[in-house]
Amino acid sequence: MAKNFLKNEVAVKMTMVGFGQAGTRMVDKFAEYTHTDGTAVYNCLALNSNDGDLAELKNVPKSNQVSLKLGGLGKNPERAVKVLDSNEEAKEKLKEFITERVRPSDELVLFFAGLGGGTGTSTIIKAIEEFSAFHNKPVIRQELQKVAQQYPMSEIKANQAKFARIAFENAIERKDFIKMGIVVTLPVRADGPDVLRQVNKFSQEIWKLANDKSKGVAFVVFADNQHFYDEFKKLNENEKKGIANSRDYANQRISEIIHELNTAANGSGTSVILDSQDFKRILLEKTGCLVINKVSRNMNQIENSHAIIEMFQESLRGSSFHPPIDLMKKNDDGSVEASKVHHFGMLAILDEQKNINDSFMDDAKVEVSNNLPINGTVFNGYLVSKNDFLGSVYTFYKTDALPSRLSKGLVEEFNEFKERQSQIQFTKSQISTIESIDEDEDLGFAFGDFIDMGSDEENNNAGENEDEDLADFLDPDKMFGTTK
């Protein structure tokens, strides 16, 4: 059994960076992929809070592994953030890792982390901020300064949004403006209410970062471990062979589907091809939640073009990495609310040549256009290549919508935990206390005798920028009304 298209050069060159135990294990799967000469397909790096977890990695080169030497941070990202903030050496190591070790000669840098733990959740947000500040903010600033030199200042002040957009569009066209992708995993329900609460909070922060255009985030994948757990439980023993648990299953699915798309998009040999430039546009233009789905059938079950169209229809209804996203919602009054879909990609890989007219791609394209609120371009293509005797179809797109469990499900699960707990009477044993005999002793001094408690009045800043409007315009953080 084989998949010949996996030998293709990748369509988009990617650097993979993993944070924490979950993130580094995902990246370790990508590090398995090698060229025929044994060199790595992807540049893979791993950062964790302790040496022990890094020791479990099998494929990421030791030279690309960095430990913050903090020990375990547990499943408490809020505490982990405080630990990281208070440890100057660890902060400097993280900054050095992002600015010096992650050298983005590739077109896309992917950051991976699990949102249920401590290290990954706490470091990935800081890493995105550091990466953007070091690589992308200077590019935007240069383009803002160019615009300031090209147009009268009075005209810029009168319409800052227009000229900020001109500068930003010039910046993202430059090769030194590096796009980022984010792949994070949501926890299983059994991790408990406090993990759900913290994940809900940090996922909001990540989504906010992704929607800040100046950061350079191309997409976010919110992979759901509950989704993978439920799928894994349904597999038969033969399908589970070699896969120890649902986490390993999740890592395998994420890496293999992304790698399959990245190599298949560089294929050729049929009359309708989705090429590398098409794939780049889908991944790198605009921003949003990246939704990928794959549907496969044995080639013996695919007798005609109608069977392939049915597979595309099935693929549209789901997602490989999380529960489906509701793109169209019909209100009680009959009106329809739709979430914007940017460019849309659809790809078929057929294991053997059958007498199937390639008009199925046109028919499938019409099906997509009629059923989705697409604001961009539909890119489609198919390959004929060895594919483990399977026919596979892939749909992939970016949208402003979020997976249902993230948009409302985590809150519902948290409330269910609270409801169950409210029906239980918790008891707590206590140790009787012997009161200190000098507890109310007058010590003869007040706290303020030793510590400056501050005055009741606050001083106002007197300094003002000579030209506040121009300063705001030249600040990349404020170009779209953002503050950071």
Domain count, the chain: 2
Please give the residue range of the domain that contains residue 370.
Answer: 289-399
Is residue 163 situated within a structural domain? yes
Tell whether the model's pLDDT for residue 80 goes beyond 90: no
The pLDDT, as a whole number, for residue 254 is 98
**C-alpha angle 75-76-80 in degrees, rounded to nearest 5:** 120
Residue at which a domain ends, from 216, 249, 264? 264
Q: Which of 405, 185, 181 is nearest to 290 (CA)?
A: 181
Mean pLDDT over residues 269-283, rounded? 92
Q: Of 144-153, 205-214, 325-334, 438-447, which range is least confident? A: 438-447
CATH number of the domain within which 117 lies: 3.40.50.1440
Q: Which stretches of 360-436 are assigned E, i.e. beta strand? A: 378-384, 390-399
- Considering the domain architecture, whether residues 167 and 99 belong to the same structural domain is answered as yes
Cα→Cα distances 132→49, 176, 204, 215, Å = 22, 11, 18, 5
Question: Which run of H or of E encompasses 378?
Answer: strand 378-384
Tell whether the model's pLDDT for residue 363 goes beyond 70: yes
Q: Of 16-30, 299-313, 458-472, which range is least confident? A: 458-472
Question: Residue 228 in contact with residue 246, Cβ under 8 Å?
Answer: yes
The pLDDT, as a whole number, for residue 330 is 78
Is residue 111 situated within a structural domain? yes
Q: SS3 of 176, please?
A: coil
Q: Which residues fall within 8 angstroms of residue 390, CB to CB, at 6 or more apart?
A: 296, 297, 298, 299, 349, 351
CATH number of the domain within which 333 lies: 3.30.1330.190
State the alpha helices, DSSP H only, in 88-159. Answer: 88-96, 119-131, 137-150, 153-158
Question: Residue 5 in contact with residue 11, Cβ under 8 Å?
Answer: no
The pLDDT, as a whole number, for residue 413 is 60
- Considering the domain architecture, whether residues 171 and 80 belong to the same structural domain is answered as yes
Is residue 465 situated within a structural domain? no
- Considering the domain architecture, whether residues 231 and 313 belong to the same structural domain is answered as no
**C-alpha angle 285-286-287 in degrees, rounded to nearest 5:** 120
Is residue 316 situated within a structural domain? yes
- Considering the domain architecture, whether residues 260 and 306 belong to the same structural domain is answered as no
- Considering the domain architecture, whether residues 144 and 195 belong to the same structural domain is answered as yes
Is residue 429 situated within a structural domain? no
Q: What does the alpha-carbon distance between residue 87 and residue 11 come to, in Å, rounded to a whole number?
A: 40
Average pLDDT, the chain: 85
pLDDT tier for residue 400 given thresholds of 50, 70 and 90: very high
Tell whether the model's pLDDT for residue 443 goes beyond 50: no
Residue at which a domain ends, from 365, 399, 433? 399
- Considering the domain architecture, whether residues 293 and 259 belong to the same structural domain is answered as no
Is residue 450 situated within a structural domain? no
- Considering the domain architecture, whether residues 81 and 204 belong to the same structural domain is answered as yes
Mean pLDDT over residues 131-150, rounded? 94
Is residue 408 situated within a structural domain? no
Question: Which run of H or of E encompasses 25?
Answer: helix 20-30
DSSP 118: S
Q: What is the pTM of this model?
A: 0.84
Mean pLDDT over residues 447-465, rounded? 51
Residue at which a domain ends, from 353, 375, 399? 399
Q: SS3 of 310, please?
A: helix
Centre a 10 Å sphere on the Cβ of residue 103 and count the other Cβ atoms it contains.
12
| Rama region for 392: left / alpha / beta (φ>0; ψ in -120 to 50; rest) | beta
Question: Residue 215 in contact with residue 140, Cβ under 8 Å?
Answer: no
Centre a 10 Å sphere on the Cβ of residue 289 and count the other Cβ atoms it contains.
23
- Considering the domain architecture, whether residues 217 and 302 belong to the same structural domain is answered as no
Question: Residue 14 in contact with residue 27, Cβ under 8 Å?
Answer: no
The pLDDT, as a whole number, for residue 453 is 47
- Considering the domain architecture, whether residues 58 and 148 belong to the same structural domain is answered as yes
Residue 65 phi/psi, 5-degree rounding, is -110, 135
- Considering the domain architecture, whether residues 106 and 65 belong to the same structural domain is answered as yes
- Considering the domain architecture, whether residues 322 and 226 belong to the same structural domain is answered as no
| Pair of tokens at residue 9 | 């050069």
Question: Which run of H or of E encompasses 355?
Answer: none
Q: What does the alpha-carbon distance between residue 274 and residue 157 come to, in Å, rounded to a whole number?
A: 44
| Pair of tokens at residue 427 | 């008891």
Strands 14-19 and 108-114: parallel
The pLDDT, as a whole number, for residue 318 is 94
Q: What does the alpha-carbon distance between residue 228 and residue 250 come to, in Å, rounded to a whole number?
A: 6
Is residue 330 situated within a structural domain? yes
The pLDDT, as a whole number, for residue 477 is 77
- Considering the domain architecture, whether residues 230 and 322 belong to the same structural domain is answered as no
